[in-house]
Chain A
Amino acid sequence: RKEVEQDPGPFNVPEGATVAFNCTYSNSASQSFFWYRQDCRKEPKLLMSVYSSGNEDGRFTAQLNRASQYISLLIRDSKLSDSATYLCVVISFNDYKLSFGAGTTVTVRA
């Protein structure tokens, strides 16, 4: 079983729509969680960290559910510029490596 799994999508949504997707992780010792964004096979860049209480950054909301071992990302009022691949990243308590999910592709259409 992969350490981090994501729904690959693609999610094809109209501008203004809300889109949400999840990421599950297998290691219960996972400590830190992030969402990264990757455009057109360029380098991944941090979108936001995910905190236990959930957090928002503008139109983006991230949630963590430790009991069920998943994190989620919700994008409200989608913009064309939100089209990208969103990567779930997990760091374990007893390790320092970053484990990536395979990514969820979102395409926002006009």
Chain B
Amino acid sequence: DAGITQSPRYKITETGRQVTLMCHQTWSHSYMFWYRQDLGHGLRLIYYSAAADITDKGEVPDGYVVSRSKTENFPLTLESATRSQTSVYFCASRQNTEAFFGQGTRLTVV
């Protein structure tokens, strides 16, 4: 089915481990985004991308790495997970105006 999917939906990891959150969209939208959502902060932009091999830092990029070798994929990597990175992570894609979101990944760092 067409859409945007995130995996895993739930993840528990230990402090210091590397973890990668996957995001895949089937529309070939140019723009893709990663947000994290925490109580009291709303959605905060981590990284975004205009096309394959073009990425930009958002509001809270520290501790995260992204890549976009293919238009349809935009993985987010936590290089060395910290408890402060416990959050709900949303991936989104956009072509014109409306943005479509994945169902989110609930990440807990213990």
Contacts and interface: CB of A to CB of B under 8 A. Distances in A.
A41 B40 contact: no
Contact of A43 (B94, B97, B102): B102
Given A100-B42, A100-B43, A102-B42, A44 B101 contact: yes
Interface string A38-76: 000111111001000000000000000000000000000
Contact of B58 (A49, A97, A102): A97
Contacts, number: 50
A98 to B, nearest CB: 6
A65 B41 CA distance: 25
Chain B interface size range: 20 to 34
Nearest to A41: B88
Helix, strand, loop or mixed for chain B's interface? strand
Interface string A71-95: 0000000000000000101010000
Nearest to B94: A98
A42 B6 CA distance: 13
B86 interface: no
Interface residues of A, number: 20
Contacts of B33: 97-98
B35 interface: yes
A53 B31 CA distance: 28
B98 A101 contact: no
Contacts of A41: 37, 88, 104
Interface of B: 31, 33, 35, 37, 40-45, 48, 50, 56, 58, 88, 90, 92, 94, 97-99, 101-104
